[in-house]
Chain A
Amino acid sequence: MSALPVRPLPFLEPAPGPAVPVPAIEIADLTVAYRDKPVLWDVDLAVPQGVLMAVVGPNGAGKTTLIKSVLGLVRPAAGSIRVLGLPYDEARMRVAYVPQRGTVDWDFPATVRDVVTMGRYGSLGWFRRPGRAERDAAMAALEQVGMAAFSARHISQLSGGQQQRVFLARALVQDAEAYLMDEPFQGVDATTEHAILEILRALRARGRTVVVVHHDLQTVAEYFDQVALLNIRLIASGPVREVFTEERLRETYGGRARLLGGAA
């Protein structure tokens, strides 16, 4: 790993052959601002394929915005993003998204299976209803997250951890190559946390790339092989062993505290 970020020059063809696989996600010079306040500033980040990467940083560091930018849900002020070597619009169907579970209305009239089946709606055309294939895929995904027994339950009757697992199952039926997850471990009990972790590891074992917005610094080293430290700017990214150091963490979390202290 060189210290300088390697940027492809626009007039050069990318190196051919399988020797250098394209990164699952490649972000260059990404800047996002809400009104005049920067949320992300000049972020360069490459996520290699087949890794489990945690995105960590204090509140307001732009973690969710980073994920939403990759998905085209937020319009960047500057920068470019490529997913599996392609512009997002061309790779859209190969990326799955697990939003924070607080972003939807859990009183919506739908059963657990209805919600999970939605993961297949991208490939259903107009006039088409989910059929046997979609239902079977949904049940298989529910089986995987240990929620098969809840398939006919209304979604309002689930606990927080169960809701999270339903969202995970919905992403699993998409059978994507890259998974972007916004705080899948938020507010779940220890059992669910381990169940979710097992699923993430199974995805990695199948060569999938998983990027997770994560809050618990204690578990980063145990759960993930790569980490991105974010606080509006990208402080560092790479293998946990190299990047996840005291000093860098202080830079990510403590720097902000100092700034606040200076302002007061």
Chain B
Amino acid sequence: MILDYTVRTVALGAAVLGAVSGALGTFAVLRRQSLLGDAMSHAALPGIALAFLITREKDPWVLVAGAAVACWLAAIAVMAVVRQGRVKYDGALALVLSVFFGFGLVLLTAIQRLPNATQAGLDKFLFGQAAALLARDVTVMALLGGGAIAILLAGWTRFQVLSFDPDFAHSLGLRVRGLDVLLTSLLVVAIVIGLQTVGVVLMSALVVAPAAAARQWSDRLGPTVALAALFGATAGAAGALLSSMTVRLPTGPTIVLCASVIVGLSLAFGPARGLVWDRMRAARNRASVQADLVLRALYALARGHDDPGHPHAEAVLALSVEPKGVRRALETLAARGQVREAGPRAWALTHAGLAAAARAEAAR
């Protein structure tokens, strides 16, 4: 497949933002800040609009700076409302999100009534449009994102212990308040560099989804963060390519759908907690328990008989477990070498089965 320059730029930009938001989003999710990320990304809209109104330019540095300031103001507003004590955290988030976002929409409408043509495209910040990404945008994204990742790696142990146990981090002599501000600032960076591509409405999905998917595959922080970055980059690049190859398909939703597919697959097939393996494990356990019950029943019958190897009818054994499970239980036991099919629908203990049943009986 031959990718032209524009498409390559778009895919590269989306991959960068996916990787950065995936890595930093993992920390946000672990610190229970995923909804704060949502409030902050929505709150970026008035920042972008004001930055444009003041400078009348669509320079990416300017817009990103405006968005970042608004994100931070929103975070501070949430904390201030919570500290007032009248509104709880979730209420404060909803309040701040809707106030900032509503204000942003008003500004956006006003901007669109401006007489000159430079404002065109600002509304793309709602749902994102990767096709509008220019090389200079990608440069800004890569520089900011790369810087954020570098800081994250430099302070890795600090951010790790801060996320797990902030009080303990304080007792280690770490400056918890400063680290908290720094890590939240890195999250702000991750959010603002994605706004042009994904849009303010859905950006938080790209913060949360890769982390949620990655967590299904690893039980340690390092691999989780690395995988989240990989998943984010994959979703970003795939979504951007799909949307740029299809007319009128907005990029943000496409990227988020790609991320959702990754989450779905991870939830189903993740090795430690995957639902599919869970089901299989549960089924295997059930089969094994039923097999043990049938073995015990056979043993009881054998003890009441002169010949321990005497076969017994399946129908009799069906009394000890649910009737449908008998056949399967007997097959499991046969596979273990503990019973043999001694006739039509009749089964007998083998020597191994006799010994195993006696052991189990003694252990009870």
Contact = CB atoms under 8 A, between A and B. Distances in A.
Interface in A217-243: none
Given A71-B171, A110-B160, A121-B174, 9 more contacts: A73-B170, A92-B172, A108-B30, A109-B215, A110-B219, A114-B220, A118-B165, A126-B155, A154-B272
Given A73-B170, A99-B168, A121-B172, A109 B157 contact: no
A124 B157 contact: yes
Interface string A128-139: 111000000000
Contacts of A72: 170
B165 to A, nearest CB: 5
B25 to A, nearest CB: 14
Contacts of A103: 165, 167
B223 to A, nearest CB: 8
Interface in B78-94: none
Nearest to A72: B170
B157 A108 contact: no
The 3 A-B pairs of least Cβ separation, nearest first, read A122-B172, A97-B171, A154-B219
Which size class do B's interface residues fall under?
20 to 34
| Among B30, B163, B168, residue most surrounded by chain A Cβ atoms (within 10 Å) | B168
Given A109-B215, A109-B220, A97 B167 contact: yes
Contacts of A154: 219, 272
A68 B160 CA distance: 22
A128 B157 contact: yes
Interface string A45-75: 0000000000000000000000010011100
14 contacts: A71-B170, A97-B167, A104-B165, A108-B163, A109-B224, A110-B160, A110-B221, A111-B219, A115-B164, A119-B172, A121-B161, A121-B174, A154-B219, A154-B272
Interface string B249-277: 00000000000000000000000100000
Q: Is the interface of B mostly helix, strand, loop or mixed?
A: helix
A114 B168 contact: no
Given A73-B170, A108-B30, A109-B219, A118 B164 contact: yes
Interface of B: 30, 154-158, 160-161, 163-165, 167-174, 215, 218-221, 224, 272
A95 interface: yes
A229 B124 CA distance: 65
Contacts of B171: 71, 73, 92, 95-97
Contact of B30 (A68, A109, A174): A109
User: What band does the interface of chain A fall in when counting residues whose beta carbon is under 8 Å from B?
Assistant: 20 to 34
B109 to A, nearest CB: 42
Most buried by A among B157, B167, B215: B157
A11 interface: no
A71 B165 CA distance: 14
A121 B158 contact: yes
A93 interface: yes
Contacts of B165: 99, 103-104, 118
Which residue, B160, B164, B172, B221, has most C-beta atoms of chain A within 10 A? B172
A95 B172 CA distance: 8
Contacts of B156: 129
Interface string A6-41: 000000000000000000000000000000000000
Given A108-B163, A129-B157, A97 B220 contact: no
A110 B173 contact: no
Contacts of A95: 171
Contacts of B174: 121-122
Nearest to A182: B167
Contacts of B30: 105, 108-109
B173 A122 contact: yes
A154 B157 CA distance: 18
B167 A110 contact: no
Contacts of B272: 154
A114 B161 CA distance: 10
A93, A105, A108, A127: residue with the most chain B Cβ atoms closer than 10 Å: A108
Q: Which of A110, A114, A126, A127 has the largest number of chain B CB atoms within 10 A?
A: A110
B154 A126 contact: yes
A118 B154 contact: no
Given A73-B170, A97-B171, A122-B173, A110 B155 contact: no
A121 B165 CA distance: 12
Contacts of A92: 171-173
A118 B219 contact: no
Contacts of B158: 121, 126
Contact of A130 (B155, B157, B169): B157
Contacts of A68: 167
B220 A110 contact: yes
Nearest to A154: B219
A65 to B, nearest CB: 13
Nearest to B169: A121
B167 A121 contact: no
A10 to B, nearest CB: 27
Contacts of B224: 109
Interface string A73-116: 10000000000000000001101110100011100111100110
Given A95-B171, A104-B165, A122-B173, A114 B157 contact: no
